[in-house]
Amino acid sequence: MARKSIEERLAQLDAQRKTLQARLTKDERARDTRRKVLLGALVLHRIEDGNAASADYLRDFTHLTWHLLWSTA
């Protein structure tokens, strides 16, 4: 069995890198969408309960927004 040339190995590694990058991008988009859905659900829940103007709501909203936008997990 012949060994792969350096060029072939580099091409294979580049293809793997592109595949992994695509998976990472897909996961990041899914996580971002989930954050937006959860935030929207919170806002709708508070509005439906009539608490949209309360100070607690604004504090919670600000804290949650900051957490969702800046968390790395």
Give domain status of residue 46, yes or no: yes
Give domain status of residue 22, yes or no: no
pLDDT one-digit tens code per residue, 16-68: 999 999 999 999 999 989 988 888 888 777 777 776 565 566 666 667 766 66
Give domain status of residue 71, yes or no: yes
What pTM was computed for the model? 0.58
> Distance from first CA to last CA of the chain, Å, rounded?
45
What is the pLDDT, as a whole number, of residue 49?
76
Question: What's the number of domains the chain is made of?
Answer: 1
Give domain status of residue 34, yes or no: yes
Dihedral sign, Cα of residue 61, residue 63, residue 64, residue 68: positive
What is the pLDDT, as a whole number, of residue 52?
56
Q: Which domain holds residue 68?
A: 28-73
What is the pLDDT, as a whole number, of residue 65?
66
Give domain status of residue 21, yes or no: no
Q: Is the pLDDT of residue 72 over 60?
A: no
What is the pLDDT, as a whole number, of residue 6?
93
Give domain status of residue 48, yes or no: yes
Distance CA 12, CA 34 (A): 33
